Amino acid sequence: MAYAAFRSIGAYVPEKILTNEDLSKMVDTTDEWITKRTGIKERHIASKDETTSDMGVKAAQQAIERSGIDKSEIDMIICATISPDYFCMPSTATVIANKLSLGYVTAFDISAACTGFVYILSIAKAFIESGMKKNILIVGAEKLSAITDYTDRGTCILFGDGAGAAVISATENKEEAIIDIHTGSDGAYADLLMTPNGGSGSAHDALEQESAGCFMQMKGNETFKVAVRTLTKDVVEILEANNIESSQITHFVPHQANLRIIKAVGEALKLDEKQVVLTVEKYGNTSGASIPMAINDVYESGSLKAGELMLLDAFGGGLTWGSALVPFSPLK
Ligand code: UT7
């Protein structure tokens, strides 16, 4: 049987930085409030002509190079994004595949907001285990600045841009395999986090008149409470289902939405601070890109070693959620 191995990671962060101080000149907020309530100090913002696919390509190039696998061997690409280059089509995955000259590979996007990376990891695992694909490039990329309302202090302080990518490959060695992935959703909470306009649910004249409805809107405090509850339940379930103790996790990589949410989940799991990966301070919330960007930070700091177990945990609009038990299994 083929198993799916997490071979490599890469990421890209745009150059421009938007600090809390900058935001305090745009909306009624302060560095103190943002730091205390979210843990965020700054976030990176893509340049005007830099697209989600441009960022995805840079992250993907790094992941492919680090995988030791030739790009001609990649047979599928999946992109997780809620800020695609184009509304509806073409998918950002096809654009990235073309820019990378990957040939006629299977390519598609999925929409699971901040849980996107865990969702595409689960899809990659299933395709590889079924024997249908061998080397899959998964990309989480977001230009959230393009869909953020910079007059709404409840959301604009949170979001940033960036991309992360990983290569998932077939292996016969069970020791290298992704152990388990759980995903779920509850559409009853759809209105907590949404871009209300721009889809088939909008009347045509509303599209013309209410372009602000194409920006993200969030009921932050309600989302916060569901996030803590769901993220904690999610990780407890995946650990129990696989008879793994939280002490066996080397790197707990949660979606980087809010420091308070991450701390609450970390405490509920009795995790040591050293186990918890934190990047929210410097990148803010980059939705589907947040988990691979965080894994890349650990990798580039030299702290991610072959065989170490990562626990990924995500939550986002939909509402969606997911967790994954993933050993880092580089080829070299
Ligand atoms: O990534 C996907 C999932 N997303 C999340 O998980 C995000 C979850 N939510 C959050 O991170 C937090 O709810 C926020 C950071 C968005 C807000 O923090 P909060 O502690 O839940 O604040 P709140 O919404 O309850 O607002 C408290 C007060 C309100 O003022 P009053 O009514 O008490 O006078 C807000 O108007 O803080 C006010 N406020 C602000 N004040 C200064 C809201 N945003 C700001 C701001 N600066 N940027």
> Closest ligand 1 atom, CA of 155?
16
Examine the residue annotation and report whether 255 is marked as an active-site residue of this protein: yes
Q: Residue 60: its pLDDT value, please?
A: 98
Examine the residue annotation and report whether 251 is marked as an active-site residue of this protein: no
Instruction: For residue 176, count other CB atoms closer than 10 A to its CB.
Output: 20
Give the integer Cα–Cα distance in Å for 322 and 60: 22
Residue whose entry in the numeric block shows the structure tokens 């409840």 = 154
Pocket lining for ligand 1, CB < 6 angstroms: 29, 33-34, 37-38, 114, 153-154, 157, 220-221, 223-224, 227, 257-258, 261, 285, 315-316
Q: What is the mean pLDDT of residues 183-207?
A: 86
Domains defined for the chain, CATH in brackets: 1-332 (3.40.47.10)
Q: Residue 197: its pLDDT value, please?
A: 79
- Which residue has the CA at smallest separation from atom 21 of ligand 1? 221
What CA–CA distances, in Å, run from 276 to 5, 194, 256, 271? 22, 28, 11, 7
Please check the confidence at residue 213 and state whether its pLDDT lies above 80: no
Please check the confidence at residue 132 and state whether its pLDDT lies above 80: yes
Tens-place pLDDT, residues 170-193: 999 999 999 999 999 999 999 999
Q: What is the mean pLDDT of residues 38-49?
A: 98
**Ligand 1 centroid – CA 223 distance (Å):** 10
Examine the residue annotation and report whether 114 is marked as an active-site residue of this protein: yes
Q: How is residue 167 annotated by DSSP? A: E
Tell me which long-range contacts 29-36 makes (C-beta under 8 A, separation of at least 24): 29/153, 29/157, 34/157
What angle in degrees, to the nearest 10, is found between the helix axes of 259-268 and 31-38? 20
Binned at pLDDT 50, 70 and 90, residue 162 comes out as very high
And the tokens for 127? 């395709």
**Ligand 1 centroid – CA 55 distance (Å):** 29
